[in-house]
Amino acid sequence: MRKALLIAFSVPALAQVLVNGAGATFPYPIYAKWFDEFHRLHPSALINYQSVGSGAGIRQLKAGVLDLGASDMPLNDSDPALSATGLLHFPTVIGGVAPVYNIPNLTRELNFTPQALAGIMLGKITRWDDPQLIEANRGAKLPDTEIFVVHRSDGSGTTYVLSEYLSKVSEEWRTTEGAGTSIRWKVGIGAKGNEGVAGLVKQAPFSFGYVELVYALQNQIAYGRVRNASGRFVKADLAGIRAAAAASARSMPDDFRISITDAPGKDAYPIASYTWLLTPARIPDPVKKRIIVDLLHWMVLDGQRMAADLGYAPLPASVASKVWKACDRIQ
């Protein structure tokens, strides 16, 4: 289900200015909270945010329909939009993609190896009592039942994060599927948005899917640990997501395009990612430019204090400082 956000911001007391944004569902819960709070503090101007998925948001931003795009996938060097329109990336928070499941009467959390996750999503592991799952979950009573896989049907940054991770840890995945916002799924049924996947997994016994951590928490769906690069099974929580970001915080590139999946460190959760707001490098309307710059400044300073309560990790201090300064690049 597509969600819309229409919030007022503080601008000079002239005509109201509409700022259109769209994209990722991954950060929608915190964007909703942020925009509501910013409106409470600065009640003027209008921001309209549609959570249509990262793929659609990027397409609309490239087409010039939007002022802001939201994505969990940074544009790559070969994308002409980087040079043609000068799109800038601004990381806002860090989240984790959690493997979620619905196994009735199972009382313990499950462990997933990288190979098992790839196997399930490739359709090679089809039953809950597969030897790979049994080996990683000794003592758990796994049912002799088919796994009902749920994946995204729309262009999705959450899918990108998972597939980019699987491309690092599974040679078969890398060579057959690769990383992208859309995958040619060999198994399962599609649902739209993180909320769609979460809703279907919650309703369907013996199902398996993947969602941004916040959606697992909000829907009270069981989610498992994933074995990280150090060989430890780590759950998608704030400590694990922070640890994944910490390893690369000091080496953050100037354009903020960085991957933190399969990060080093014994406590790092392996399917973690920054999420970004994308803006044009040049915004001709001075009032609209001021709204966007002020919003970005507020998000990376005061807004970060709200992240943990919603299940996101705030930006490392060094990254937040760098983002603040980078807002001056918007002309």
The answer to whether residue 262 sits within a structural domain is no
For tokens 């806002």, name the residue.
Answer: 92
Do 215 and 99 meet the contact criterion of CB atoms below 8 Å apart? no
> Distance (Å, rounded) from C-alpha 323 to C-alpha 255?
9
Tally of domains in the chain:
2
The answer to whether residue 266 sits within a structural domain is no
Q: Where are the alpha helices (DSSP H) in the chain?
A: 28-41, 54-62, 80-84, 114-122, 131-136, 157-169, 171-176, 193-203, 213-219, 238-246, 286-300, 317-326
pLDDT at 82: 56
Residues 194 and 151 in one domain: yes
Task: Confirm if 122 and 132 have CB atoms less than 8 A apart.
Answer: no
C-alpha to C-alpha distance for 123 and 171, rounded to whole angstroms: 15
Evaluate if residue 16 carries a pLDDT over 60. yes
- Same structural domain, 117 and 58: no
pLDDT of the residue at 170 = 98
Question: Domain check: are 51 and 154 in the same one?
Answer: no
Looking at residue 81, its pLDDT comes to: 54
Residues 168 and 240 in one domain: yes
Contact 215, 224 (CB under 8 A): no
| H/E stretch holding 71 | strand 68-71
**Final residue in a domain of this structure, among 230, 246, 262:** 246
Q: 227, 246, 265: which is the final residue of a domain? A: 246
Q: Evaluate whether 320 touches 304 at the Cβ level (below 8 Å).
A: yes
Same structural domain for residues 108 and 167? yes
Whether 260 maps to a domain, the answer reads no
**CB half-sphere exposure, 84, CA atoms < 13 A:** 9
- 18's enclosing H/E stretch is strand 18-23
Classify residue 253: in a domain, yes or no.
Answer: no
Residues 114 and 206 in one domain: yes
Paired with 93 in beta bridges are: 275
Domain holding 56: CATH number?
Answer: 3.40.190.10
Distance between CA atoms of residues 76 and 235, nearest Å? 29
Residues 131 and 215 in one domain: yes
Domain for residue 74, yes or no?
Answer: yes
At residue 8, does pLDDT exceed 80? no
Separate counts of helices (H) and strands (E) for the chain: 12, 13
242 within domain boundaries: yes
Percent of the chain topping pLDDT 70: 93
Q: What pLDDT, on a 0 to 100 scale, did the predictor assign at position 7?
A: 47
- Tell me how far CA of residue 287 lies from CA of 18, 63, 106, in angstroms: 10, 22, 55
Query: Do 213 and 173 belong to one domain?
Result: yes
What would the two tokens of residue 72 be? 């969990």
Asked if residue 117 and residue 169 are part of one domain, the reply reads yes
- Domain extent, residue 191, equals 97-246
**82 and 105 within one domain:** no
The terminus-to-terminus CA distance of the chain in angstroms comes to: 35
Co-location of 169 and 215 in the same domain: yes
Q: Are residues 71 and 114 in the same domain?
A: no
* Confidence at residue 133, expressed as pLDDT on a 0 to 100 scale: 99
Please count the other Cβ atoms lying within 10 Å of the Cβ belonging to residue 80: 9
Residue 257 included in any domain: no
Decide if 269 is inside a domain: no
- pLDDT tens-digit series, residues 279-322: 999 999 998 999 899 999 999 999 999 999 999 999 999 999 99
Q: What is the pLDDT of residues 86-135, one digit of tens each?
A: 899 999 999 999 999 999 999 899 999 999 999 999 999 999 999 999 99
Q: How far apart are CA 305 and CA 319, in angstroms?
A: 15
Would you state the pLDDT for residue 85? 59
